[in-house]
Amino acid sequence: MARIICPEKLVSRTAIIAMTAFLLLISGGCGRESAPDRPNIVVILIDTLRVDYLEDPDLPAASHPYLAGLLENGSCWDNAISTSSWTAPATASVFTGLYPNQHGVMQGFHAHKMAVKKLRKSGQASIPLNALPTDIPTLPERLKKLGYRTFGLAANINIGHEIGFSRGFDRFAMLENAPADSLADRLLSWLPEMTAGPEPYFLYLHFNDPHQPYIGHEQWYVPVANDAVADARARYLSEISFLDHQLARIHRELDLDRQGLLVVLSDHGEEFMDHGRMYHPPSLFGELNDVFLVFSAPALGVRPHRWSQNVSQVDVLPTILDLLGETMDGPAAGISLAPLLLVGGKDGAALTASLDERTLFAHRLQDLRLGRHLWSANQGTWKLIENKSGNRNLFDLDDDPREQHPLGLPEGPVTSHLTAELDRFKTLPPVGTWPSTEIELDEKMLKKLKSLGYVR
């Protein structure tokens, strides 16, 4: 089951040459023996990037040559699965290697109806949020301990100090809903500091351009008359092209040291009436939970390849540490993918078997006050989804990749296994201490949340 196809013949020769030059820039060669003990690390998270649209005829590879080049030249995963269809929980899984019901960040700046109702009566209110566990080290905290200087830039309001995402960064800025060119400008102003001194750096970039409200960028946007959904989709696709242009600019200007590790991924996707709704409503269908994931590190021996096994965002942190020669100490739900990524990696066959056998999970909080949750479990080409009422449906992704034809719960080993696995997963204990915070929900905050579609 492959839900994305890495472009091959569609990528322009110029784009391939440009990407190859970039990969050689960060690699300094193809052998791992030339890699430093601590290479520079860049993690780029693209908010709301719908992975199947990267092969859509309406978005040819020439309109996103940077991302197309990554798919062509990196180690890309066709079946990467998000842990949630919300930004904060999914990104917290990247930062901790844990699922939402383990790290506790189950929602971000989502004001439920009672909070809005209270706001209208009193003029202000607050919304409760869980922050990242203070006793579980995050990705930047782990890398800082290994001697990295750490830098973070984010454009999504969820990725800030309130939920704990700024922890471990020497320099961090959240540029609320800023476009990619503004993030690039800020990043380049930091460049002298990032490259000063002998220590390697870790850079986290969180772009928000494909998130609603979509801007129709003139160079790529062709309006669609009399079809609001199609026009929204056209604007969304133009956001991807605009972002792609800025990503290419960043990597031209960044001038990374000759060795480096690059990870590019998304937090979740976007719906355009695939199941009757828009944006990223409470849902765990594939248009929201299939995500982009590419590793690129030629100097470390990471080879260009397409992988069909199911992987998760919880695997990102263990993989980064393993590529550095470090072990994932402490609790983790994910596993390292390094044995498959590395040329001549050991135990690749064992890892492939493990990936084929394991079950991956996702969670979405429907209503905290009423205790309504959505859950899913994936193994191989099978997927089980539990809705807010506790009803479950099995999907055969080989025959039904768009998840349009639920099978109910047919008797058989697949249903029995996934049902038992999901029951077990739902009882996992929390990991660490979940600190909570109250965010004041005044008129200014409400306006921000409405602009992002978090409050209606």
Cβ count near 315 (within 10 Å): 26
Residue 258: predicted pLDDT: 58
Tell me which CATH code domain 13-451 carries: 3.40.720.10
Residue 112 has pLDDT above 60, yes or no: no
The span from the CA of 67 to the CA of 82, in Å, is 19
| Position 404, amino acid | Q
* pLDDT one-digit tens code per residue, 125-146: 666 677 899 999 999 999 999 9
pLDDT in the model for residue 271: 92
pTM of this structure: 0.86
Of 104-118, 277-291, 391-405, 421-435, give the lowest mean pLDDT range: 104-118
- Is the pLDDT at 368 greater than 70? The verdict is no
The domain spans of the chain are 13-451
Give residue-wise pLDDT tens across range 303-359. 999 999 999 999 999 999 999 999 998 888 999 999 999 876 666 888 998 999 999
Residue 205 has pLDDT above 80, yes or no: yes
- Provide the residue type at 365 as one letter: L
Q: Is the pLDDT of residue 27 over 90?
A: no
Q: What is the pLDDT of residue 119?
A: 57
**Greater pLDDT, 122 or 48:** 48
Q: State the pLDDT at residue 432.
A: 83
Residues 270, 46: Cα–Cα separation, whole Å: 12
pLDDT for res 427: 92
> Average pLDDT, stretch 56-71?
86
Mean pLDDT for 274-284 is 85
Q: Which pLDDT value is given to residue 348?
A: 80
- pLDDT tens digit string along 146-193? 999 999 999 998 898 888 999 999 999 999 889 999 999 999 999 999
> Would you say residue 42 has pLDDT above 70?
yes
Instruction: Give the range with max mean pLDDT: 9-18, 20-29, 338-347.
Output: 338-347
Model pLDDT, residue 123: 57
The pLDDT, as a whole number, for residue 259 is 63
